[in-house]
A and B are shown apart, each in its own frame.
Chain A
């Protein structure tokens, strides 16, 4: 089975593992912590509430007032309202509701009386690798046990408090709907909370039997939706701190270029511009309002130093990749001897597949508010002073943000407070630290709170792009048409070289090869090689990471094999999956729901693909028509096995979302480089799907008892190959390079 790449971000902080494990061991006991301190010292946010990223103005899911804290996950107020604290970042994937459901179910809470609160940076909420981070479709997959343990511990403490009060055996008490019961005695969690908080923390609290779940597996309304329908949801860009400045940064057109000199005379004449400051990222124009900062930045006259990358283009990078593809790469996985079999076979096929750089283009451009304060008075402690750094931003990783703020401020991690706001899209972009580092650096220079806002152009041109790749395939078919050998050489750039170099083993970046080095198909002779060519173009994690491009190329090539073998592409895959029943069941469900065995409507054609990504298994059938070169995508049928679906409707919504991401990329997505710089700048030259582009989408879950798999990303990889395989069925034209906007579909 495929050994999915673990979230490589975790290992960014290897040196912190010891610390985080200590925190984990003692987390139920380490009360107070950052949360309460932060709440007291932060000051007010723009809505007048404490600046905790809850749901201001919403009726649903609001955190209770002045609750008793049982442990980092659970707070209970006297009126029996329960606040569930979630350390993962809410970027639309519904995790604030999903992990709250896990807590509520294990606690035995009445769902109608619970609310949700965003945790601060606190390793009590860390992934098993010791980092608090949201990515790799890992929240339920990797954190459900931690959250269940947190809630179970609180439940046992509530029961212990009740048993003590009633002088009965705690083991004979039971818990229902936020009450502890024994015989005819009954006490609410709210009434017990204060005493419960003083109970000893259980070492290994018993977990509920899965058959007793009554919230997990249902689909309650999401906490974050009301605030996202009336303008009250607070994103990073909405944060307002008294005395805050707004800044825009003039960034180098060529990645990594340095400022040679700049003239700020004209910029400083713009009304509202207060400072022009050079920082590591470029030249910051600081103003009293956003428009002044924008206008001021336009007036800057900057000379950039010449740079070795000034002549680099997508074409020159492609030439490098092609050259690298001529030599063997590092062997990622080898079974048998593919080269020998291909060399001797009469029935061989070769193909080259290419994928472009892609931007994330989150709806909310990057931004961050920071405030570095030296010698600020500590509330509640007369005469006490402290140095502190507060960061308000939509981040996928409070831990990475914290690290970044520590480095930029010179303060310690305990002096850094990360306030995670709603993310206006993440997709991997908000796992980066660049936007945090620059805001902290600038705040320290200004000695004032400052928000740096990126324009769409900044965001598009200073992203960490999905890597461009060049792929050479060779395969041989046996006399039954089944693949006897498969050889795949991947050429691309390494994400981990920058993000987590310690995770590169023997020169191999697993994020380049995931979704390609192991397939659910049995091929007796198999070789996957990787040649890494790093360039000055920064590459990063993009929704579904390596699988996003590798599914397109491998599932396209499998389709080519099926065609060469004159086999039905669904049946061909199904036969190759004989030893992989779970994958095969997903493929069969998609085919069944799409009526694969029956002809498509007249003029329409279908393609199928399967992919596994971050512990989720997804098959899709895409139905298209192509008339005079015009592509219309009519329908996508999606079957998914994500193990236990905590909230089935959120899972389906995530599949819908991931399918649209796949469509955006397959049809339109393309970042190109000229003279060392990104050519595209906004949605006119980096188009994405609009409502009229969207097909009917049906999502079916296999439903099973396996542990939770990934949800947010696995729906993206199969879309591009299923779509392109459908185009092949319609036109006879094999798509080996994306996006489709660059392909003439009129001729086969």
Chain B
């Protein structure tokens, strides 16, 4: 007996020491915080200094636009290289390193490069560097994912297939002028064509296949951007220093450090200044936003999440979707399921309010987004949902609390969502309960969430158990819905076939018949019609558009946040 009492006592002792240590640390944090927020509000621009840009996934180190694959690498690339064009605030391409001109018949695009743009090794950027980039990507041995961005160039496909030893449509006129002929006119050519030059003189004779593993990309990559690479610690950190010959004038900062951290530490590292600029993890946003040394910026993102209904399967032989699933053909059912969900409460509860409900597949930052007054907002209204279901014949006939289908057979809905985040389970339960409250017997497919890979495997394979699922898409700046929405698209995950929709999508990338009409206006009209169609048909429940939270230390100024990340790196500066 005596022994066990001893045990308990000693345990208590150890615990109390432990707890005391913890609370001591807490107090220390509070006292440290106070002097920090003195004189931060009004500051002056200071020359020099270094800013640390944080990210929460390790980078692969493929530092070339033609070969990189993930956001992890492009976060480093953005500091050191630029394209011939860039996207402006209206999400339309405009001249950057080059001016462009489109011929009368819209098939010939001429780029005129600015003179005096230097690579980091001092060589001048020439038209050959752009030609070289297109050749790298069209090379038969190229293993990257960018061929779609050069496929429209005349002769690129033949070159890739080894049928031609030159790409017919590329012509270097002089050092600063390059002409491209495309196979057919397209309204979004500027958004789709590859615009990142690669340093031909620097890569030398390395083949397109071996480049991604070459030191010229791995260890000492170069670009024409405001910062040049000084040091790379694989997977951990890239150090940049100012490039004095940058074509828009030298940057204000001495350097930038791109640093990988663990997401769970974001708040602490922003607080103690180890990280200056970071896209904050959403679950920590409440705490990070409140930090004294942080400028919180919330930017509408080009992405949205959705709950899809499963319409059928993809016919691989014919290459087209077949909407042969009878379950969700009733439009009132789909409308009712949308009205049953309180999307705003979901966003407030699970994403710290970082998001907005949306009702078409275009986020509000897109120029093609239809005015909200013209579409059905699908506001949260469980009574309306119940009414719609009653009218459609989905009523509870056997008194078990759940509705049966119009034929009186039991009606259940399988729901799939991805696991991963801490709140994944709760999110899924929220959706299920919303449906259950209007009398629909919804449950998790297989009783559990699926991890990312299993989720997409199951859905892409058109597994018969899949009935509804929650997913998300990130979008490019051009609004063209092809790639996801055409009936021939493999990524039409919900397998929705609609001729009218296909027709409008194709019409959206054609030039207006009346040549005097503004192209953007014409496209806007077409896309408005398409948005009204999908909004009414509701093949998927459009859920929310994302808002990206950025934490920027108050000592850093000039950081521009766009729907795609941060920008204008040469203007970043230290505020003192």
Tell whether A and B belong to one assembly.
Answer: no
Residues in chain A within 8 A of chain B (CB atoms): none
